[in-house]
């Protein structure tokens, strides 16, 4: 249902993604679980289904490059080989990218280092001020140390030299996906029990986290189920985060 409402996937694609998500959380007989209604599942199985829902979310990507062929190349790689990411926008300047970052939460920024006006390094620095948890990949035609050093100081995840192969880009995207899942798991494991049990919690952290995945969170509140908690969770920790 979530994939039907929030994605443009076909029925067959939705089914395959749902089944893979159920396998990823190690549910026995994913095909059987897929055909069941919620009231037919145990509490533990329902929790694993909720984890699977969270893992099926598409992280949001923003691409910035003032060279249209390079922009299209990066976009096509993501669409064809890393479809777990959702491209929010593809812009041709750092200034345009900042406007997007000011209006919505983004998980990953991919930018060229050399653009007219604001450079990729400047964009990365300003983007981190707006969204501290943002992941950044800089694509560069410069191998000199000072450029790489500037990228490191700006807090980027990857500094990649052109030309970027499909294999290299998909490998980077997979690494970013794993980082995002790990971060989300860690933050959600502390925030969700507190919110569900009406305990104090960091509202700013919750806003940053769930601005990207608000519809999953709404579903959790409706069902009063904890999302993506550790496999072993004591009752004391759940009731008193």
Look at residue 145 in the predicted model and tell me its pLDDT.
66
Least confident of 57-61, 72-76, 114-118: 57-61
pTM exceeds 0.75, yes or no: no
Average pLDDT estimate for 47-56: 68
Average pLDDT over residues 15-33: 85
* Averaged pLDDT, 211-234: 45
* Mean pLDDT of all residues belonging to the chain: 79
Q: For residue 200, is pLDDT > 70?
A: yes
Q: Mean pLDDT across the stretch 165-183?
A: 89
Q: Looking at 16-20, 104-108, 125-129, 202-206, which range is the least confident one?
A: 202-206
Q: How far apart are CA 18 and CA 53, in angstroms?
A: 8
Token pair 């104090």: residue: 200
Which band of pLDDT confidence, cut at 50, 70 and 90, is reported for residue 157? very high
pLDDT score at 102? 94
**What pLDDT shows up at residue 112?**
93
Instruction: Compare 196 and 85 and report the one with higher pLDDT.
Output: 85
* pLDDT (mean) for 156-163: 90
pLDDT attached to residue 209:
63
């Amino acid at each position: 249902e979530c994939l039907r409402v929030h994605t443009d996937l076909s029925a067959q694609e939705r089914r395959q993604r749902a089944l893979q998500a159920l396998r990823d959380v190690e549910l026995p007989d994913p095909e059987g679980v897929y055909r069941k209604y919620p009231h037919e599942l145990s509490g533990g199985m329902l929790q694993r289904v909720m984890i699977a829902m969270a893992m099926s979310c598409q992280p949001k990507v923003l691409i910035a490059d003032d060279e249209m062929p390079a922009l299209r190349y990066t976009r096509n790689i993501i669409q064809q080989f890393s479809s777990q990411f959702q491209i929010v926008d593809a812009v041709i300047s750092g200034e345009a990218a900042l406007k997007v970052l000011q209006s919505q939460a983004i998980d990953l920024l991919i930018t060229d280092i050399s653009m007219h006006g604001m450079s990729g390094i400047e964009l990365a620095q300003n983007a981190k001020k707006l969204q501290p948890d943002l992941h950044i990949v800089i694509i560069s035609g410069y191998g000199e140390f000072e450029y790489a050093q500037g990228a490191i100081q700006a807090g980027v995840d990857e500094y990649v030299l052109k030309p970027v192969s499909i294999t290299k880009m998909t490998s980077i995207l997979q690494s970013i996906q794993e980082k995002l899942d790990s971060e989300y798991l860690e933050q959600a494991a502390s925030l969700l029990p507190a919110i569900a049990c009406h305990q104090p919690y960091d509202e700013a952290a919750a806003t940053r986290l769930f601005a990207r995945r608000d519809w999953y969170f709404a579903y959790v509140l409706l069902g009063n189920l904890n999302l993506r908690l550790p496999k072993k969770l004591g009752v004391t920790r759940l009731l008193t985060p």
